[in-house]
Structure 1
Amino acid sequence: MASNEVEPVRVIVWMVPRTLSTVFLKSMSNLDRVKIISEPFTCASAFGPERLVKGAVEGFVDTVSDISSKAEMDMGLDHNLYTYKWVKESLLEGTYPGKVAVVCKDTAMSIPKDKYDMIPRGYRHAFMIRHPNKLFKSWNKMFAAMMPHPGEGFLFSEMLKASGAEGYGFKELFDLYEYVKKSGLEKNPIIIDSDDLLMDPEGILRKFCKSSGLQYTDKLLKFEAGDGVVKQWAASKLQLQANKAVYGVYQAAFDSTCFKKPTNMDPPPRSEFSDDLLECIDVSMPYYEKLHTDRLTV
């Protein structure tokens, strides 16, 4: 780094899928002189040379990869680059001349405890949460859309466990939260509940930026529809192809132009869920409640 350049503020947002994290990242793209990094450890764990998925999920990932690789895509990085060491040293700890901020989002379940030494240095750590009833309803819907042959395969909980989320995502998030505090990597982790973000986007984003050292701008509240901004992100091409060809996991976020408050903020009742999903919810709820207690408030 040139002597006249300032080290950028670096923030990594850990999350469980379906917490509005992609919309959040799209918002962060409107920061001045920012480098955005999307789900690098997720790519390493699912698609990279050291992938961690196991059992029946391996065949499913192979099918997704095969279908996705045929989709036309003019952006993204080669997923074969994504070893854990490369993600840490080249992407997350890399130098970005001219940038004053680096913002990354990723899943906690993609970096198991035996990979904690791959957590990058020099970052503020934030965590995104969402009420488990809302989250698992959305996540299961996404999972169903991903299945090549609906009605066949395995239970949602089995898919999570085979993907490395023995605690269904929330335990992994809480374990990582505890680790960054106890290890000294982060004295004051920032927790955002997606409901709070939807209720008061400006208030939460102002508080988040102040807490993390980022420079707030009203440009964070409105963004253009489409994936044009994604061309500036460091994201794997295969994940972007999978969004286009298989499951559209990011599409609603790419199409969004703001944080839109739903007409009904109540969590769906337990009666809507299968026994399998209720197990995921019940295991997750204590971890969610602990994190929710320390969340960012305005």
Structure 2
Amino acid sequence: MADITRICLWSGPRNISTALMYAFAQRKDTKVFDEPLYAHYLNKTPAKEYHPGSIDILKLMENNGEKVVENMMAESSKPVLFFKNMTHHLLDLNRDFMKNVVNVILTRHPEEMIPSFAKVIKNPTINDIGYAQHSELITYFENQNIIPIVIDSTKLLLNPEGVLKALCNKANIKFDTNMLSWEAGARPEDGVWAKYWYSNVHKSTGFAKYSKKIEDFPEYLKPLLNQCLPHYNKVLPYALS
């Protein structure tokens, strides 16, 4: 199929990335893929020891990241292909393919993201959550003259239609109002890990109204917060309004 738009989302965890995937899944011209590089990441890191469902992920998914990228670039089933990825799943992969896709960075203020992640992974490190990799990706894109699209989760929740329209415009695809809502429940594209991570999005029928977290930030996570903030602050100025 000619003129295929391949969109690679590079997100951190707990960044409403699954909701964004669900939004794209509502488009008739689009096929979505849930974290195709997850098994590659688990296979190459100690994360396999503490990520829930890792045995099933490694058994059911392609473990070789280079083969995954080849498959992503060979996929041609729809005019728009949306690959939801975690940035830290890239690891040591050759990034030349990024010159031929639409790269979207999705970030979230670490003060809100880290406690959410820590409810599943109890003692996260900066290597688990993608902020350093986002910062590094921005530098890589600048050096390669690649212009990424950056989305801040808070801005998306405050103005879903406006941010999605801006995203579609940057990606040179038409905005579809169907992206704003979906039926509650699981989707067939969900990864095998959905039962551990997707309970909230499965209850949703659209992007939730933003509300600032009011719980006190856990003291034991503050060193990690301080590590992540400079990386988040580097990426934020690029975000769509």
Higher RCO (CA 8 Å, separation ≥ 6 residues): 1
Per-residue CA shift, 1:184-239, capped at 9, x if unaligned?
A: 3x2x2111111111111110101110011122111011111112xx32x3x6xxx4
- Which residue does the alignment assign to 1:251? 199
Q: Is the 8 A contact 1:23 1:254 kept in 2?
A: no
Root-mean-square deviation (CA), in Å? 2.3
Partner of 2:217: 272
SS of the aligned residue for 2:13 comes to coil
**How many angstroms does 1:119 deviate by?**
4.4
1:43 and 1:82 map into 2 onto residues whose CA distance is 5
Per-residue deviation, residues 69-108 of structure 1 (Å, max 9, x unmatched): 8xxxxxxx931x2311211111x101324x1101111111
Please state how far the C-alpha of 1:268 moved relative to its aligned partner.
4.8
- Shift in alpha-carbon separation, 1:294–1:52, aligned structure 2, 3 A: same
Q: How does 1:1-298 map to 2 (within 5 A)?
A: 5-46=1-42, 51-54=43-46, 57-61=47-51, 64-66=53-55, 78-79=60-61, 81-90=62-71, 92-97=72-77, 99-112=78-91, 114-117=92-95, 119-144=97-122, 155-157=123-125, 165=127, 168-184=129-145, 186=146, 188-227=147-186, 230-231=187-188, 233=189, 239-240=191-192, 242-244=193-195, 247=196, 249-262=197-210, 264-265=211-212, 267-268=213-214, 271-275=216-220, 277-297=221-241
Is the CA contact (8 Å cut-off) linking 1:12 and 1:126 kept in structure 2? yes
How far, CA to CA, are the matches of 1:124 and 1:179 in structure 2? 15
For 1:289, give the aligned amino acid. N
| Pair 1:183–1:210, CA change in 2 (3 A) | same
Deviation beyond 6 Å, 4+ runs, structure 1: none
Distance 1:118 1:111 in 2: 12
Distance of 1:138 and 1:281 partners within structure 2: 13
Contact conserved, 2:8 with 2:83, CA < 8 A, in 1? yes
3-state secondary structure, aligned to 2:69: helix
> Offset at 1:120?
4.8
Q: Distance in 2 between matches of 1:59 and 1:107?
A: 18
Which consecutive residues of structure 1, in runs of 5 or more, have no partner in the other structure? Answer: 70-76, 145-154
Gaps in structure 2 of 5+ consecutive residues: none
Looking at structure 2, the residues matched to 268 and 282 of structure 1 have their Cα atoms a distance apart, in angstroms, of 19
Distance in 2, matches of 1:290 and 1:60, equals: 29
Amino acid at match of 1:290: K
Asked if structure 1 preserves the Cα contact closer than 8 Å seen for 2:155 and 2:163, the reply is: yes
Q: Work out whether residues 31 and 215 of structure 1, in 8 Å CA contact, stay in contact via their aligned partners in 2.
A: no
Contact persistence 2:48–2:54 (CA under 8 A): no
Q: Distance in 2 between matches of 1:58 and 1:9?
A: 32
- Letter matched to residue 138 of structure 2: Y
Instruction: Tell me the CA shift for residue 111 of structure 1.
Output: 1.1
> Aligned pairs, how many?
240
Shift in CA distance, 33/130, structure 1 to aligned 2, threshold 3 Å: same
